[in-house]
Structure 1
Amino acid sequence: MSERVVSPTGHGYLLLDSHPAGCFRGVELTRAEVRAPERPPRRRPTALVIGSSGGYGLAITIAGLVRYGIDGVGISLERPAGHRSATAGWYRTIATAAIARESGSDFSFRNADAFADTTKTETLDLLAKRFGGVDYLMYSVAAPRRTDPRSGVTHRSVIKPLGAPHSTWNLEFADDGAALLRETVLAPATSAETAATVRVMGGEDWSRWITALADRGLLREGFRTVALSYIGSPLTSAIYRNGTIGAAKVDLENTANALNRRLAAVGGRAYTSVNGAAVSQALTGTPGIPLYAGLLRGVLGDRFPSPVQQSVQLWDQLTADRPDLDECGRIRLDRWELSAPVQAAVTDRWRSLTPETVTELADLRWFRGQSRALYGFDVPGVRYDTPVETDLPWPNPS
């Protein structure tokens, strides 16, 4: 037994421990946002979700289990409890596995490096034995590094502008919760840093998964796959869409076009889904984006859609005969964010920012709560002064 009181210690947005009960409750609240279908599906589709333990990948998994009755496999790489608690994704996976059981889904979870060829082989063995084929592959991976199993080289991603330095406001919080607004100047990326970021966050690994499925004959007729992307506001474009991350997202979109030519043989399609802003660990680590998200929430209030609400829309698009695509063939779930009135209102607030006015213009209480909830803290209905068991087993894939 490893019961103890778990506290949110750490530095900045990075916390050292995760709270099991808070993570369980967060998954429960996410599940409550998804309406079950009026009629169960005639056939349970088989889905492979890569990056299923957090952010949009978690939301896609929960929406698929509850609303679309998916079977299949989720993959993520999480750390078990030791000197510290397990990672938040470890606990969220336990809670999501309970949803799968309650939904009657044959859906298992693997704790493995999605970039490794051994993970691909073992996962495809499982899919072939249990289901005989795959209908959907959802790719939602946000990793700081990737070791290419074929070259042995480890590539590390960076968050930097391209071409010239960039200055932006960065939102931080003191230990007592007070908001701090600091100016951050970022040097431009080198060509090697940009290339490494594309190797980590671009489409190469996504393409390798599709190739592995095709080589094993596991792509069902009408197979569809989607990788998640983001464009964001012109206010953040220098560090995001026009920066190193944006270069990786362009590669992801080019990969979708190449995959479409290969998937034609099974009547399949590959898409990128441009989702709207959401509070995630990747977002909190990107300068300027936390402040932008707080301002966006200040403008929209409760009209700011959650990741699982957007994920239900994504499943609706993927299962439609004719998804709603933009001129580049992308699924667009960010129209609410990039509408002219919303962006005009956010821009007005951004231009009025000072360290004194930030608390009036941005919903900082919401943003801080959301960022701490990534680790299971500040979740409604959880007693944080009560000892909890931290050493919990990964759900058995068998």
Structure 2
Amino acid sequence: MSERVLTPRNRGFLFLDAHPTGCARVVADMWDACPGPVAAPEGDGPVALVIGSSAGYGLAAVVAGLKRAGIRGVMVSFEKAPTERRTATAGWYRTAATADLARAAGRDLVFLNGDAFSDDLKDQVADIVERRFGGRVDHLVYSVAAPRRTDPDTGATYASVLKPVGAAHRTKTLVFDDQGSGEVREVETAPAEGDDVEQTVAVMGGADWERWVDRLAVRGLLAEGFSTAALSYIGSPLTSAIYRRGTIGAAKAHLEATARALDERLGKEVRGRAVTSVNGAAVTQSSTAIPGIALYTGLLRGVLGAAMVPPVDQLAALWDQLTGAAPLTVDDEGRVRLDSWELSDEVQAAVAARWEAATTGTVADLADLDWFRAEVRRLYGFSVPGVDYAAAVRTDVAWPSASAVS
């Protein structure tokens, strides 16, 4: 057994280790915060797949699905195991904690660790659905954010980039110094060149999501009324040049086009639905890598405070729509909109005013830096209330066994 006293070591927003107890408490807190079901799920509960289940909105989809909808099924993520020198990734520890929650709730969840882009893993999931879950899938939530993808058909590997399209973009961004003080800087990002857009679309667009649906359909595993949602983000005009109008935005547009095509097809084949779910801003490991997003999110929190809607509440609302507890409501582009609290004219005007005024000298008064800094640390299990960080903690936590049935 490996036990260590863990202290946060980081390079900017990237932490080198994760705290198992802190990660487990984060999951427990998410469970406690999630609203309970509108009505008790009937029978064994719907069979669900969550692809990208260990972090951010994907993790919120699992926790909300368990508590709000009583799901069972297969959860997929890609995490690193602990070694003698390093802890496991935070998602590894969050997955172990989520498995404990599922067992306590009496729900049968299988957690797989592997490359969601591979056909081998898709077939492994399909085999488990056939053997263990009655040969049907009711819902699929797709929440994959990755830097690279290998196409199973061609063997080509694509890499996604965070770049504006057409011209370089200069924006404000937020960094923290060694003492944790916030500093506002201006950074310039070079424009996409060559096949940057196509590469990013190949990784972050809808190709792999559609491949998951295809694989399940070929195996005859789509239940009548099957629904699927890919989680997405639009965001503010303040960040649109690097996000919605950049390379990632091109991938999101492809994702939405994929949703419309899948929706038409599934409607004919199984009376099913496919949508993108546009969620609101949150501090995630992916979002902190995008220039300007950290500053924007801190300012948004400064405007809204506790009125920001956490991911688990948003995903509870999405599960209500997917399961029929509430009407499935989409905009003109076929998107479920869970971001209206963020993008109202009043909120965006207030954030824009603070953005213009934000400097290193003023940002502490305009943005909730303490909250943002704590949220980043919580991604790795640090700064979680109630955790004794002076105590040694076991780091060699096992991945949940697929053979354990609740």
Q: TM-score, normalised by structure 2?
A: 0.97
The within-5 A match list for 1:79-94 is: 79-82=80-83, 83-94=85-96
**Equivalents in 2 of 1:89, 1:262: separation in Å?**
34
The match for 2:146 is 143
Query: Does the aligned pair in 1 maintain the 2:232–2:277 contact within 8 Å?
Result: yes
**Equivalents in 2 of 1:253, 1:206: separation in Å?**
11
The 3-state SS of whatever aligns with 1:281 is coil
| Identical columns (%) | 58
Q: TM-score, normalised by structure 1?
A: 0.98
**Equivalents in 2 of 1:281, 1:193: separation in Å?**
22
From 248, 261, 269, give the equivalent of 1:258.
261
**Equivalents in 1 of 2:253, 2:243: separation in Å?**
11
The match for 1:311 is 315
The match for 1:185 is 188
Instruction: In structure 2, give the amino acid aligned to 1:314.
Output: L
How far apart are 1:322 and its partner, in Å? 3.2
Matched, 1:157 2:168: no
> After the TM superposition, which of the residue ranges 191-200 and 222-231 deviates more from structure 2?
191-200
The 3-state SS of whatever aligns with 1:280 is coil
Query: Does the aligned pair in 2 maintain the 1:53–1:89 contact within 8 Å?
Result: yes
The within-5 A match list for 1:345-356 is: 345-356=350-361
From 116, 130, 133, give the equivalent of 1:128.
130
The match for 1:294 is 298
**Equivalents in 2 of 1:327, 1:312: separation in Å?**
23
**Equivalents in 1 of 2:155, 2:390: separation in Å?**
45
Query: Does the aligned pair in 2 maintain the 1:75–1:112 contact within 8 Å?
Result: yes
Matched, 1:41 2:44: no
**Equivalents in 1 of 2:15, 2:91: separation in Å?**
13
From 275, 282, 286, give the equivalent of 1:278.
282
**Superimposed CA distance per residue, residues 81-120 of structure 1 (whole angstroms, 9 cap, x where no aligned partner):** 0121000000000000011101111111001110011000
From 354, 357, 366, give the equivalent of 2:362.
357
Matched, 1:67 2:68: yes
Q: Which runs of 4+ in 1 moved over 4 A?
A: none
RMSD of aligned residue pairs (Cα, Å): 1.0
**Superimposed CA distance per residue, residues 310-354 of structure 1 (whole angstroms, 9 cap, x where no aligned partner):** 111111122236312111111000001000100010011011112
The match for 2:114 is 112
Unaligned runs of 5+ in 1: none
**Equivalents in 1 of 2:271, 2:327: separation in Å?**
13
Instruction: In structure 2, give the amino acid aligned to 1:237.
Output: S
Matched, 1:371 2:376: yes
The 3-state SS of whatever aligns with 2:286 is helix
Query: Does the aligned pair in 1 maintain the 2:69–2:323 contact within 8 Å?
Result: no
Query: Does the aligned pair in 2 maintain the 1:317–1:331 contact within 8 Å?
Result: no
Query: Does the aligned pair in 1 maintain the 2:183–2:359 contact within 8 Å?
Result: no
**Superimposed CA distance per residue, residues 16-68 of structure 1 (whole angstroms, 9 cap, x where no aligned partner):** 00000000000010000123336421131000000010100000100111121
The match for 1:99 is 101
**Equivalents in 1 of 2:330, 2:199: separation in Å?**
30
> After the TM superposition, which of the residue ranges 27-36 and 340-349 deviates more from structure 2?
27-36
Matched, 1:54 2:59: no
Query: Does the aligned pair in 1 maintain the 2:228–2:275 contact within 8 Å?
Result: yes
Query: Does the aligned pair in 2 maintain the 1:21–1:376 contact within 8 Å?
Result: yes
**Equivalents in 2 of 1:344, 1:37: separation in Å?**
35
How far apart are 1:163 and its partner, in Å? 0.3
The match for 1:20 is 20
> After the TM superposition, which of the residue ranges 337-346 and 261-270 deviates more from structure 2?
261-270
Unaligned runs of 5+ in 2: none
**Equivalents in 1 of 2:130, 2:12: separation in Å?**
44
Instruction: In structure 2, give the amino acid aligned to 1:263.
Output: L
The match for 2:230 is 227
> After the TM superposition, which of the residue ranges 298-307 and 33-42 deviates more from structure 2?
33-42
**Equivalents in 2 of 1:39, 1:360: separation in Å?**
43
**Equivalents in 2 of 1:65, 1:245: separation in Å?**
30
Instruction: In structure 2, give the amino acid aligned to 1:138.
Output: V
The match for 1:5 is 5
Query: Does the aligned pair in 2 maintain the 1:8–1:377 contact within 8 Å?
Result: yes
From 227, 231, 243, give the equivalent of 1:240.
243
Instruction: In structure 1, give the amino acid aligned to 2:264.
Output: R
The 3-state SS of whatever aligns with 2:18 is coil
The match for 1:77 is 78
**Equivalents in 2 of 1:184, 1:36: separation in Å?**
43
The 3-state SS of whatever aligns with 2:195 is helix
The match for 1:380 is 385
How far apart are 1:279 and its partner, in Å? 0.5
Instruction: In structure 2, give the amino acid aligned to 1:106.
Output: D
**Equivalents in 2 of 1:148, 1:386: separation in Å?**
45
**Equivalents in 1 of 2:390, 2:164: separation in Å?**
43
**Equivalents in 1 of 2:172, 2:18: separation in Å?**
28
The 3-state SS of whatever aligns with 2:186 is strand
Matched, 1:200 2:203: yes
